Structure 1
Amino acid sequence: MNFLPEEIEQYAEQFTSSEPKLLADLNRFTHGNVLQSRMISGHLQGRVISMLSKMIRPKTVVEVGTYTGYSALCWAEGLVDGGVVHTIEIDDELEPKIRKFINQSEFTNRIELHIADAMKKLNELEGPFDIVFLDADKSNYSNYLALVMDKVRPGGYIVADNVLWSGKVTESIEEMDPDTKALYEYAQMVHSDTRLENVLLPIRDGLLIARKIV
């Protein structure tokens, strides 16, 4: 869900740098060939991700939930020399589609795709991480945070997508479905952690950006 009126979103995109051609092609491919295409980050959020990466200049990015690879390619845009994006996807049927576009990009050797269970892979990956991006099963966001917290460097970032969940997070707790409740609890967990400072941006379906202070 997008919370901006359509004309405001169009205006925002008008004055946002264009997405690279490969990403535009990937966007069209995803909408034409992949189920649940609304899951793709898309132009505006993709440029936000790219800008964050270029500001932070990460060496190691860990992404939980690849989908078709759009956001992984955006995070790769700001990598320092020798940097890498580790992107984790559980759905092996998406692998050919992901690799098709990664292999066409300039980041072929800088994006490592892991078809794996995210909890297991996060345990295996060694830190320090500069950025962790959560965009997978919402019920596990808090578990993912607990797994990566000690591996994120001081000054590093944890970014979570879909934290507004079509506005359902504003319902009473008694009315929340399990995923909505999990996202609400994740936001509470981040907001109450004294090791973090955070801001929730109402972009697309909500991005919660947390910076690890210590």
Structure 2
Amino acid sequence: MYSSDEAQAYADQHTTPESPLLARLNRETHVQLLHARMLSGHAQGRLLSMLSHMVRPRRVLELGTFTGYSALCLAEGLAESGLMHTVEQNPELETRIRRYIREAGHEDRIRLHIGDARAVVSGLQETWDLVFIDADKINNDTYYELVLPHVRPGGFLLIDNVLWGDKVLPSYPIKPSDKDTHAVRAFNDKVQADARVENVFLPLRDGLLLVRKL
């Protein structure tokens, strides 16, 4: 029996490498910031880029920019006239995010918003082709219901961290006080039963839920 670490290493070796800019951002995030695991990273970043290239979206929304890695990956597949809005609540990250957006040459294609995602999204008059939800997990359902009416029929949502460190698995004993885990588990169950969408649960990294609006 081979270890999952070996399988992951093999998968990484057979996935297109991240660009030098993304590799630098990846390294900088891990060296300089706490909670660096929040960064999408190589394998998930390439998947986000691939999905974006497949959809060729005109409008993309991201909730939870962190240091900008996933935003840069999603922007790679934008349609020629495409535009991406990304929302980050931590103002201390703004300078770093804008620096990497500028270095990637995406200043005209990525609009960064600093603030509460609920307030920002409510003020955007857009129809979304692709939405990536990677913000505070306890509000997954709130963000989902906020954006789903504005996703075009046939459009896609991606929700990150739906495995939540494997704590959502049925065999895991969840403490009543663990509100985040209860919220993620309830959200996963809700999407599975939602007649408005179809969905695929991908056990990549910390779990990625791919949803298509019907």
Q: Which runs of 5+ in 2 are unaligned?
A: none
Gaps of 5+ in 1: none
3-state SS of paired residue (1:72)? helix
Which secondary structure state, in structure 1, belongs to the residue aligned with residue 165 of structure 2? helix
Post-superposition Cα deviations, 1:34-86, rounded to whole Å, max 9, x if no partner, equal 11111110000000100000001101110000000000000000000111110
Give 1:122's aligned residue: 121
Distance 1:160 1:142 in 2: 10
Instruction: Quote the residue 1:77 is aligned against.
Output: 76
Indicate the SS of the match to 1:131.
strand
Alpha-carbon separation, structure 1, partners of 2:207 and 2:123: 29
Amino acid corresponding to residue 158 of structure 2 in structure 1: V
Structure 1 residue 167 displacement after superposition: 0.5
1:176 Cα deviation from its structure 2 partner: 6.8
Identity %: 50
- Tell me the alpha carbon deviations over residues 114-169 of structure 1, each in whole angstroms, 9 at most, x when there is no partner: 00100111111122101111101001100001111110000001110000000100
1:6 aligns with 2:5: yes
Deviation at 1:185, TM superposition (A): 1.2
Kept after mapping to 2: 8 A contact 1:168/1:176: no
Q: What is the distance in 1 between the residues matched to 2:31 and 2:55?
A: 33
Question: Which residue is equivalent to 2:60?
Answer: 61
**Root-mean-square deviation (CA), in Å?**
1.2
**Mean Cα displacement is larger for which, 62-71 or 28-37?**
28-37
Cα gap change, 1:11 to 1:176, in 2 (>3 Å): farther
CA displacement at 1:174 relative to structure 2: 5.6
Give matches, 1:1-150, under 5 Å.
Answer: 5-150=4-149
Structure with the larger RCO, 1 or 2 (CA within 8 Å, 6+ apart): 1
What amino acid is aligned across from residue 95 of structure 1 in structure 2? E
Matched letter for residue 185 of structure 1: A
| Secondary structure of 2:168 counterpart | helix
How many residues are treated as equivalent by the alignment?
Answer: 210
Tell me the residue number matched to 1:195.
196
Q: State the TM-score, normalizing by the size of structure 2.
A: 0.95
Amino acid at match of 2:86: T
The TM-score with structure 1 as length reference comes to 0.95
- Distance in 1, matches of 2:190 and 2:87, equals 23
Q: Tell me the residue number matched to 2:207.
A: 206
Letter in structure 2 aligned against 1:182: A
